[in-house]
């Protein structure tokens, strides 16, 4: 094996070992390479394709490159990653083992001078997702070879705009910006250790409409979880329970990603399948409550 190829492989191994968001291969910039993550839009249940493009050229040839893309697991499920006919040949490594992350690295003996769409990433929009799903591009690197300085990276990162599926509620999202008061707000809740006893409520009643207090027709005012759990181990089951406040009504159970976990729509029995984050929804009488569940090994 030539010394140059060994050098390229060592550079790629070092690049892929950088997992901390703030860790990068720092060097004095010798040029600027634009890296673009495209935008997409769709409804819950749709699959969308996002492309990652590198703007290399004859003036800025590369033998080593990498990127790491973080996505919102509460709103998107990774379906596949695919190379294109513009992806450079050589040693190519893709790692998607960590939920919410796509890591890619490449190294070659000969310099590559043709920019373009180097990877397509397909996502499925989760059933209960709303608003906008944002991406974070980090630890991006391009270099001519292991003996020269890294190019400076100019990143342009798109989003996935999630379109509304019904005429009620807050309406569609425009301009790719998330609505600060989207239905339930659960999809924009960060994955922290918040109190599980807080039930996120949403209603199918259109804004501006209301039922007079004097009306004799009683409605479901809200849904309250009476039994819930924040972390569940893979292959374990758990019985979620909830009750309606106001009118008594049967509760329908839903889960945002059936590849990670399933739930019986009538009984609320939850079965964990593989690591990841899902949103469990209890619905009744046009009102719903949500809780985020992390499936762990």
User: Measuring CA to CA, which residue among 24, 75, 52 is closest to residue 184?
Assistant: 75
| Cα 197 from chain centre | 25
- Inform me whether the pLDDT recorded for 23 exceeds 90: no
pTM of the model: 0.51
**Fold annotation for 196-203+218-296:** Immunoglobulin-like (2.60.40)
Q: Count of alpha carbons within 13 Å of 140, Cβ hemisphere only? A: 22
3-state secondary structure of 252: strand
User: Measuring CA to CA, which residue among 158, 192, 179, 157 is closest to residue 277?
Assistant: 192
61-to-35, 69, 115 alpha-carbon distances in Å: 14, 23, 9
- Inform me whether the pLDDT recorded for 288 exceeds 80: yes
- Average confidence (pLDDT) over 244-268: 93
Residue-wise pLDDT for 188-207, tens only, equals 333 333 434 344 455 544 44
DSSP state of 150: B
Q: List helix spans (H) across 77-217.
A: none
The domain spans of the chain are 3-13+29-162, 196-203+218-296
Residue-wise pLDDT for 121-168, tens only, equals 999 999 889 999 999 999 898 888 766 678 888 899 999 999 987 544
User: Measuring CA to CA, which residue among 223, 239, 224 is closest to residue 284?
Assistant: 223
**CATH of the domain spanning 3-13+29-162:** 2.60.40.680
Query: 152-157 and 32-37 as β-strands: parallel, antiparallel, unpaired?
Result: parallel
pLDDT of residue 100: 92
pLDDT of residue 13: 55
Residues facing residue 242 across a β-bridge: 225
Check if 3-13+29-162 and 196-203+218-296 are the same fold.
Answer: yes
């Amino acid at each position: 094996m030539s010394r140059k190829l060994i050098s390229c492989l060592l550079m790629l191994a070092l690049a892929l070992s950088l997992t901390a968001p703030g860790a990068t291969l720092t060097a004095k910039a010798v040029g600027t390479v634009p890296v673009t993550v495209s935008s997409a839009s769709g409804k819950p249940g749709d699959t969308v394709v996002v492309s990652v493009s590198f703007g290399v050229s004859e003036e800025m040839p590369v033998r080593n490159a990498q990127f790491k893309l973080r996505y919102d697991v509460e709103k998107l499920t990774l379906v596949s990653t695919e190379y294109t006919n513009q992806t450079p040949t050589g040693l190519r490594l893709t790692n998607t083992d960590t939920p919410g992350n796509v890591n890619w690295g490449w190294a070659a003996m000969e310099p590559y001078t043709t920019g373009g769409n180097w990877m397509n990433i397909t996502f499925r929009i989760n059933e209960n997702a709303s608003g906008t799903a944002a991406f974070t591009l980090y630890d991006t690197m391009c270099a001519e070879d292991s003996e020269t300085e890294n190019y400076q990276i100019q990143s342009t990162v798109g989003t996935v705009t999630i379109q509304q599926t019904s005429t009620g509620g807050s309406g569609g999202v425009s301009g790719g910006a998330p609505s600060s008061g989207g239905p339930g707000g659960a999809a924009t809740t960060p994955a922290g250790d918040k109190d599980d006893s807080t039930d996120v409520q949403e209603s199918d009643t259109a804004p501006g409409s209301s039922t007079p207090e004097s009306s004799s027709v009683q409605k479901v005012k809200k849904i309250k979880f009476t039994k819930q759990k924040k972390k569940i181990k893979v292959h374990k089951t758990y019985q979620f329970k909830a009750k309606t406040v106001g009118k008594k009504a049967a509760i329908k159970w839903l889960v945002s990603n059936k590849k990670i976990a399933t739930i019986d729509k009538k009984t609320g029995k939850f079965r964990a399948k593989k690591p990841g984050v899902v949103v469990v929804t209890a619905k009744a009488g046009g009102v719903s409550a949500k809780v985020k569940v992390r499936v762990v090994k």
